[in-house]
């Protein structure tokens, strides 16, 4: 039996993982160079968007296990519960199990309810993302993914207008928040604005299906593997980088104090 074709979802998740690695490299190994973190801002919106776009509402055990482990390592690194952030995987689980089913059933059908939801999420961003990684900032991208799927399933003007409004609010809120968090300079802020705009446009052009150009093996296998295990790859790579950075810092300090 041959492997399935590479899909557009596989391609997007591989792109997301590339920018995850870019972001985490900057976080652990070159923290004084903000350009790594600037381009790393591409990653999280992709994964939140596809959490919202997906129809399945089950949560793999690996998300819970890795999410708990990474939250624990963040606690041990910060040495303070107040400075600990609940890992993004647990935010994904919260969205998938509780929030997105509620939003789809009770909110997305009425424009005024969507407006209220967005109006609540935006001002809560500074408070929620200190507790839950990306907080309601990430929720907006997931809601956009949900709105996009609903607009594709039933292409009505009302659903397209809802999707467009969410897209505008999400892009502006995300860009402003990330500029604030990372203190990007004027040029970096402008570039981030262009990146976010391009990301929103491309995500709204997303259609689930086979990739028009099918990469050859073994490249195709890499696409499929990343598409199937993207969040597990994220978790393992993050943990590995944390351990490696800790080792470098520890042995570096020993060398500095050696006679």
pLDDT in tens, 43-95: 999 999 999 999 998 999 999 999 999 999 999 888 788 889 999 999 999 99
**Would 250 be classed as within a structural domain?**
no
Label residue 231 by pLDDT band (50, 70, 90): very high
**Would 74 be classed as within a structural domain?**
yes
State whether residue 210 is helix, strand or coil: strand
Q: Does the structure show a pLDDT above 80 at 33?
A: yes
The pLDDT, as a whole number, for residue 251 is 67
Cα angle: 33, vertex 39, 42; to 5 degrees = 145
Q: Does the structure show a pLDDT above 90 at 194?
A: yes
**Would 238 be classed as within a structural domain?**
yes
**Would 1 be classed as within a structural domain?**
no
C-beta separation of 23 from 134 below 8 A: no
132: which strand partners?
Answer: 86
Domain housing 126: 8-243
Q: Check residues 76 and 194 and name the one with the higher pLDDT.
A: 194
pLDDT in tens, 132-147: 999 999 999 999 999 9
Domain total for the chain? 1
C-beta separation of 105 from 113 below 8 A: no
**Would 257 be classed as within a structural domain?**
no
**Would 84 be classed as within a structural domain?**
yes
**Would 258 be classed as within a structural domain?**
no
């Amino acid at each position: 039996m041959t492997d399935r074709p590479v899909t557009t979802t596989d391609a997007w998740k591989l792109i997301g993982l590339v920018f995850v690695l870019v972001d985490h490299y900057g976080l652990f190994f070159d923290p004084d160079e903000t350009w790594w973190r600037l381009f790393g801002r591409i990653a999280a919106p992709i994964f939140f968007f596809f959490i919202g776009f997906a129809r399945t509402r089950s949560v793999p055990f690996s998300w819970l296990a890795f999410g708990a482990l990474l939250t624990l390592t963040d606690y041990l690194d910060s040495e303070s519960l107040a400075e600990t952030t609940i890992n993004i995987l647990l935010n994904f689980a919260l969205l998938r199990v509780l929030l997105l089913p509620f939003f789809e059933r009770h909110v997305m059908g009425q424009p005024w309810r969507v407006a209220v939801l967005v109006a609540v999420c935006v001002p809560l961003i500074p408070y929620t993302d200190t507790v839950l990684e990306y907080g309601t900032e990430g929720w907006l991208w997931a809601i956009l993914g949900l709105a996009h799927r609903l607009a594709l399933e039933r292409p009505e003007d009302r659903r397209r207008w809802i999707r467009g409004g969410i897209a505008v609010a999400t892009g502006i809120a995300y860009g402003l928040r990330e500029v604030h968090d990372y203190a990007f300079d004027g040029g970096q802020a402008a570039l981030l604005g262009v990146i976010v705009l391009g990301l929103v446009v491309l995500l709204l052009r997303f259609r689930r299906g086979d990739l028009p150009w099918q990469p050859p093996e073994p490249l195709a296998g890499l696409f499929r593997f990343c598409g199937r295990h993207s969040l597990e790859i994220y978790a393992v790579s993050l943990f590995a980088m944390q351990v490696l950075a800790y080792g470098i810092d520890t042995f570096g300090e020993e060398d500095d104090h050696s006679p």
